[in-house]
């Protein structure tokens, strides 16, 4: 870990997926620019929220940080180690410190394995303990996430969505990681269950000193759980600030539009406030616009926005933004 408490440092991280044509001889005709020159830091023990609309590259960012997708360019540092340079056994050893809770609790658990096998799999992969010790560790993990240890021999189809997500959390905790990417862990769950899973994640963070990258759509939930929040649009992070600063003083026009869509539970305030309705659709990541990527939909865009890409800069202490107008 670096001196200023940074656990993860992402430096100009880029991930492009090639578009190919042809059946026998495939040739590359373009690329989907899912993540483009993204830079931020995640401090030890904090939760960094990552928000944005569907398809903006949030999940790809999380997976590329963990090296589940290898980046096209850029660097990811875990403490002093550059993850993009690690391969094979070195990367496998480093993976003990980093885990992921996946979005869909129905697709991320193998239906052919029992809960005991699912949760103990990371322990087996890293050769930790014997069969009896692994079984005891699995029972302890199930207790930790609020499930009965007697459920160890059941299969995923015997559980509800909320229980399955708890199994996913138990699996992520099996190797005692420091850093967990939570990839929309509550979006597939009922609203009544979402709060339970978020409270569980907060309790576990307090108990084990975990660091989270929390990817989500729900801005009010992100405000509740995160210490700092990053806003993403079409493969770029456009604003990053502490939770209260971002929600009270949003500087980027896209952040302002997003926050104007969050309902306020006070009819008198809700009636008075101004909604910002964005015109048009999100451009294709395979053919992003020149200059600022938000300019085709931005109500404030000027000529420079259409030609020059805005610089990612710190405009106030711990408040970063990429906009010519700020």
Burial tier of 246 (Cβ tally within 10 Å: 0-12, 13-18, 19+) = buried
Which residues are within 8 A (CB) of 141 and not within 5 positions of it... i.e. 6 or more apart? 119, 170, 173, 174
- In a domain, residue 234? The reply is no
Q: What is the pLDDT of residues 137-152, one digit of tens each?
A: 999 999 888 899 999 9
* Residue entry with tokens 């483009």: 36
Phi first, then psi, for residue 142 (nearest 5°) are -65, -40
Whole-angstrom distance between the N-terminal and C-terminal Cα of the chain? 33
* Residue entry with tokens 């609790």: 105
What pLDDT does residue 114 have?
Answer: 93
221 and 285 fall within a common domain: no
- In a domain, residue 233? The reply is no
Which residues are within 8 A (CB) of 192 and not within 5 positions of it... i.e. 6 or more apart? none
204 and 261 fall within a common domain: no
- In a domain, residue 273? The reply is yes
Q: What is the pLDDT of residues 166-213, one digit of tens each?
A: 999 999 989 999 999 999 888 877 888 888 888 888 998 999 999 999
152 and 59 fall within a common domain: yes
Reading the block at residue 124, the tokens are 């087996």
- In a domain, residue 237? The reply is no
85 and 196 fall within a common domain: yes
Which residues are within 8 A (CB) of 298 and not within 5 positions of it... i.e. 6 or more apart? 253, 254, 292, 305
What pLDDT does residue 226 have?
Answer: 93
Q: Which residues pair with 14 in a beta bridge?
A: 73
CB 185 within 8 A of CB 201: yes
Q: What is the pLDDT of residues 100-121, one digit of tens each?
A: 999 888 888 999 999 999 999 9
165 and 56 fall within a common domain: yes
Number of folded domains in the chain? 2
Q: What is the pLDDT of residues 296-309, one digit of tens each?
A: 988 888 899 999 99
180 and 120 fall within a common domain: yes
- In a domain, residue 244? The reply is no
């Amino acid at each position: 870990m670096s001196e200023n408490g940074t656990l993860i440092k992402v430096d100009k991280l880029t991930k492009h997926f090639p578009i190919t044509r042809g059946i026998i001889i495939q040739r590359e005709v373009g690329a989907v620019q899912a993540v483009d020159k993204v830079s931020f830091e995640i401090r030890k023990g904090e939760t960094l929220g990552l928000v944005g609309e569907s398809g903006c590259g949030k999940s790809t960012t999380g997976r590329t940080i963990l090296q589940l997708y290898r980046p096209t360019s850029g660097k990811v540092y875990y403490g002093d180690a550059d993850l993009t340079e690690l391969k094979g056994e070195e990367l496998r050893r480093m993976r003990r410190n980093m885990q992921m809770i996946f979005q869909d609790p129905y697709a991320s658990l193998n239906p052919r394995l029992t809960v005991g096998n699912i949760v103990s799999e990371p322990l087996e992969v890293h050769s930790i303990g014997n069969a009896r010790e692994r079984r005891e560790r699995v029972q302890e993990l199930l207790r930790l996430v609020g499930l009965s240890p007697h459920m160890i021999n059941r299969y995923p189809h015997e559980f509800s969505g909320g229980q399955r997500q708890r199994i996913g959390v138990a699996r992520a905790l099996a190797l005692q990681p420091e850093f967990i990417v939570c990839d929309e862990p509550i979006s597939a769950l009922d609203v009544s269950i979402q709060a339970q899973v978020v409270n569980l994640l907060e309790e576990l963070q307090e108990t084990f000193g975990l660091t989270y990258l929390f990817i989500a759509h729900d801005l009010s939930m992100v405000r509740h759980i995160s210490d700092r929040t990053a806003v993403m649009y079409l493969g770029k992070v456009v604003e990053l600030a502490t939770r209260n600063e971002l929600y009270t003083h949003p500087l980027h026009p896209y952040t302002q539009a997003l926050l104007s869509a969050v309902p306020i539970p006070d009819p008198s305030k809700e009636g008075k406030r101004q909604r910002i309705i964005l015109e048009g659709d999100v451009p294709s990541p395979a053919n992003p616009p020149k200059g600022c990527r938000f300019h085709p939909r931005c109500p404030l865009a000027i000529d420079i926005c259409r030609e020059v890409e805005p610089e990612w800069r710190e405009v106030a202490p711990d408040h970063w933004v990429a906009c010519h107008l700020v």
